[in-house]
Amino acid sequence: MRQAGRALPEYRALREGIAMLDSCFRPDLVTEITLQPVRRFGVDAAIFFSDIVVPLKAVGVDLDIVPGIGPVVAKPFRTAADLPALLDGLPEVTEAVGLLTKELGDTPLIGFAGAPFTLASYLVEGGPSKDQRNTKALMYGDPELWSRLMERLADITLAFLRVQVDAGASAIQLFDSWVGALPAEDYRRFVQPHSARILAGVSDVPRIHFGVGTGELLHDMGAAGADVVGVDFRVPLTDAVKRIGPGKAVQGNLDPTVVFAPWEVVAQQVDRVLEQARAAEGHVFNLGHGVLPETDPDVLTRIVARVHEASAR
């Protein structure tokens, strides 16, 4: 996210020759980048600055984040010999979380990790994919190898989240960017048990489970064990609450592109989300999959203020 009046650390890192993925292993940069939205916008919680593929990089997978493309894996996963190693601690993350909790005080820090299906997708496809063809070919064609891969990735993700929680994170978010490519039956068979094991392993803190394009999976994602189910902007929160069922809060779900409309329109859309969220047992307001880089930060400031004002009534 761009902010007025100062150069963001990720841009400074680029000028210093530090790649984006490498900055995720720099506790000073992780701390500063995580804190900036809290300082600038007065949000209610901080999200730990990381990337979905950080744990894979940490266990030795040869990958990088290529500008304009995303994570790219040098040698895509094909056989059991390509199974990544287990994660055995990550002192850089422990240090960063420690620094953050001191700076944040009473403001909660939300830990972050990518879910096994999305990690598997990057490993198998070698990078972002629109149709997940190689991933699905492995999943359907060799379910035993798929299960071994998902079990290993679940181990890695759980270890990564435990590092954050044990260091002081107040909650976690398990993020599944690509799982919306699956029908519900396949999700339940090939994915849900592995995500459920991760969520069970961090049951000592509130757990958020978020996916993209997962309108048909909302009930099953909630059943995996999260306390809060993320809903992207494609599904109205009133519908999402019915699909998820009782006992869960929801997170969502302003379309990130709405912020480019005139303020009157933005305000109406914010109010619409808040009104729909009244049907839920709890609600975390956010902008869909994330904030687009071209977003005017002043609009975000006004959105946060409007949500706070409405919540105080």
| Long-range pairs for 19-22: beta carbons < 8 A, 24 or more residues apart | 19/64, 19/65, 20/51, 20/65, 21/51, 21/53, 21/54, 21/57, 21/63, 21/64, 21/65
Summarised one tens digit per residue, pLDDT across range 125-143 is 999 999 999 999 999 999 9
For 198: left if phi > 0, alpha if psi spans -120 to 50, otherwise beta; the answer is: alpha
Q: Is 207 a residue of the active site?
A: no
Closest CA to 77 of 137, 157, 159: 137
Instruction: Provide the percentage of residues in the chain whose pLDDT is more than 90.
Output: 88
Q: Is 313 a residue of the active site?
A: no
Summarised one tens digit per residue, pLDDT across range 188-227 is 999 999 999 999 999 999 999 999 999 999 999 999 999 9
Token pair, residue 196, equals: 């459920």
Q: Is 162 a residue of the active site?
A: no
| In a domain? residue 249 | no
pLDDT at residue 16 is higher than 60: no
Q: Is 78 a residue of the active site?
A: no
pLDDT at residue 11 is higher than 50: no
Provide the residue range defining the domain that includes 124: 9-230
Q: Do 53 and 128 touch, CB atoms closer than 8 A?
A: no
Q: Residue 142 carries which side chain, given as an amino acid letter?
A: D
Return the CA Rg of the chain: 19
The C-alpha angle 26, 32, 33, rounded to 5 degrees, equals 90
| In a domain? residue 81 | yes
Among the listed residues 15, 88, 106, 313, the single catalytic one is 15
Among the listed residues 22, 26, 44, 51, the single catalytic one is 51
Q: Is 189 a residue of the active site?
A: no
Q: Are strands 63-66 and 70-73 parallel, antiparallel or unpaired?
A: antiparallel
Summarised one tens digit per residue, pLDDT across range 81-95 is 999 999 999 999 999
pLDDT at residue 18 is higher than 80: no
Any idea what the CATH number is for the domain that residue 93 is in? 3.20.20.210
Summarised one tens digit per residue, pLDDT across range 25-34 is 999 999 999 9
| In a domain? residue 1 | no
| In a domain? residue 304 | no
pLDDT at residue 161 is higher than 70: yes
Global pTM?
0.92
| In a domain? residue 281 | no
- How large is the average pLDDT for residues 34-57? 95
